[in-house]
Amino acid sequence: MAKKQKKQPRPKAMTPRGFRDSFGAEVEARRTMLGKIAEVYHSYGFDPLETSAIETVEALGSFLPDVDRPNEGVFAFRDDDESWLALRYDLTAPLARVAAQHRLDLPSPYRRYAMGPVWRNEKPGPGRFREFWQCDADTVGTSTVAADAEICGMLAAALEHAGIARDQFLVRLNNRKVMNGVLEVAHLLGEDKSAQRGIAMRAVDKLDRLGIDGVRALLGAGRKDESGAFTEGANLGDEQAEIIIDFVQAERADGGATCARLLELVSGSETGREGVEELEEIATLLDAQGYGSDRIKIDPSVVRGLGYYTGPVFEAELTFDVIDEKGQKRQFGSVAGGGRYDDLVMRFTGQRTPATGVSIGVDRLLAALSATGKLDAGAARGPVVILALDRDRMAHYQTLCAELRNAGIRAEVFMGGGTNMGKQLKYADKRAAPLAIIEGGDEAERGVVQIKDLVLGAKLAEKIESNEEWKAQPAQREVARADVLAAVREMLAR
* β strands within 272-392, DSSP E: 296-298, 312-323, 329-340, 355-361, 384-386
Segment 243-266 shows an average pLDDT of: 92
Least confident of 184-198, 381-395, 454-468: 454-468
Sequence-distant (≥ 6) Cβ neighbours of residue 282 within 8 angstroms: 145, 148, 149, 152, 173, 312
Q: Is residue 5 part of a domain?
A: no
Please count the structural domains in the chain: 2
Q: What is the pLDDT of residue 436?
A: 96
Quick check: 478 pLDDT over 60? yes
Q: Is residue 1 part of a domain?
A: no
Please report, rounded to a whole number, the percentage of residues in the chain having pLDDT higher than 90: 66
Q: Are 176 and 339 in contact (CB under 8 A)?
A: yes
Please report, rounded to a whole number, the percentage of residues in the chain having pLDDT higher than 70: 91
DSSP letter string, 359-372: EEEHHHHHHHHHHT
362 CB burial (10 A radius; 0-12, 13-18, 19+):
buried
Sequence-distant (≥ 6) Cβ neighbours of residue 58 within 8 angstroms: none
- What are the φ/ψ torsions at residue 385 (nearest 5 degrees)? -105, 125
**Interval 125-134: pLDDT, tens:** 877 899 999 9
Quick check: 347 pLDDT over 90? no
| Omega of the bond leading into 109 within 30 degrees of 0 (cis) | yes
Q: What is the pLDDT of residue 343?
A: 85
* CA gap 443, 470 in Å, rounded: 18
Q: Are 436 and 428 in contact (CB under 8 A)?
A: yes
Q: Is residue 107 part of a domain?
A: yes
Q: How many CA atoms lie within 13 A of 260 on its CB side?
A: 6
306 confidence band (pLDDT: 50, 70, 90): low
Segment 197-214 shows an average pLDDT of: 86
Of 371, 391, 406, the position where a domain reaches its end is 371
17 CB burial (10 A radius; 0-12, 13-18, 19+):
exposed
**352 and 418 together in one domain:** no
Angle between helices 270-288 and 255-265 (to 10 degrees): 170
Least confident of 21-30, 57-66, 155-164, 276-285: 57-66
Q: What is the pLDDT of residue 376?
A: 65
DSSP 3-state percent helix, strand, coil across the chain (nearest 5): 45, 20, 35
**326 and 391 together in one domain:** no
- What are the φ/ψ torsions at residue 491 (nearest 5 degrees)? -70, -35
Least confident of 145-149, 463-467, 472-476: 463-467
Q: Is residue 478 part of a domain?
A: yes
Residue 133, domain CATH? 3.30.930.10
Of 371, 402, 430, the position where a domain reaches its end is 371
Q: What is the pLDDT of residue 2?
A: 62
Q: Per this entry, what is the length of the chain?
A: 494
Beta bridge partners of residue 412, listed in sequence order: 385
Which residue has better confidence, 367 or 324? 367
Sequence-distant (≥ 6) Cβ neighbours of residue 221 within 8 angstroms: 233, 235
Q: Is residue 110 part of a domain?
A: yes
**331 and 402 together in one domain:** no
Of 344, 371, 398, the position where a domain reaches its end is 371
* CA gap 245, 224 in Å, rounded: 19
**Interval 11-42: pLDDT, tens:** 999 999 999 999 988 899 999 999 999 999 99
229-236: list long-range contacts, CB under 8 Å, 24+ apart.
Answer: 232/199, 233/199, 233/203, 234/196, 234/197, 234/199, 234/200, 234/203, 235/196, 236/186, 236/188, 236/196, 236/200
471 confidence band (pLDDT: 50, 70, 90): low
* CA gap 335, 371 in Å, rounded: 13
**154 and 241 together in one domain:** yes
**Most confidently predicted of 153-162, 218-227, 377-386:** 153-162
Least confident of 132-141, 157-166, 189-198: 189-198
Alpha helices per DSSP H over 17-56: 24-43
379 confidence band (pLDDT: 50, 70, 90): low
Q: Give the number of other Cβ atoms within 10 Å of residue 419's Cβ.
A: 13
* Amino acid in the structure at residue 56: T
**447 and 469 together in one domain:** yes
**413 and 486 together in one domain:** yes
- What's the alpha-carbon Rg for the chain, to the nearest Å? 29
Segment 380-392 shows an average pLDDT of: 91
Q: What is the DSSP letter of 109?
A: S
Which residue has better confidence, 448 or 74? 448
Sequence-distant (≥ 6) Cβ neighbours of residue 403 within 8 angstroms: 484, 485
Q: What is the pLDDT of residue 65?
A: 46
**172 and 312 together in one domain:** yes
**299 and 412 together in one domain:** no
The mean predicted confidence, pLDDT, of the chain is 89
Q: Are 73 and 89 in contact (CB under 8 A)?
A: yes
* CA gap 279, 262 in Å, rounded: 10
- The rounded Cα 145 to chain-centroid distance in angstroms is 25
Q: Are 316 and 334 in contact (CB under 8 A)?
A: yes
Q: Are 298 and 283 in contact (CB under 8 A)?
A: yes
Alpha helices per DSSP H over 166-248: 176-185, 194-205, 207-219, 238-248
Q: Is residue 7 part of a domain?
A: no
Q: Is residue 11 part of a domain?
A: no
Q: What is the pLDDT of residue 15?
A: 92
Q: What is the pLDDT of residue 470?
A: 53
**Interval 401-428: pLDDT, tens:** 999 999 999 999 999 988 899 999 999 9
What CA–CA distances, in Å, run from 465 to 118, 220, 377, 457? 53, 71, 30, 13
Q: What is the pLDDT of residue 205?
A: 82
Q: Is residue 444 part of a domain?
A: yes
**119 and 139 together in one domain:** yes
Residue 414, domain CATH? 3.40.50.800
Quick check: 464 pLDDT over 70? no
Beta bridge partners of residue 174, listed in sequence order: 313
**107 and 207 together in one domain:** yes
**Interval 59-89: pLDDT, tens:** 887 544 444 555 568 898 888 888 889 999 9
**β-sheet with 329-340: strand ranges across:** 47-48, 110-119, 131-140, 355-361, 329-340, 312-323, 169-175, 296-298
**354 and 485 together in one domain:** no
**423 and 352 together in one domain:** no
Query: Which residues span the domain enclosing 54?
Result: 24-371
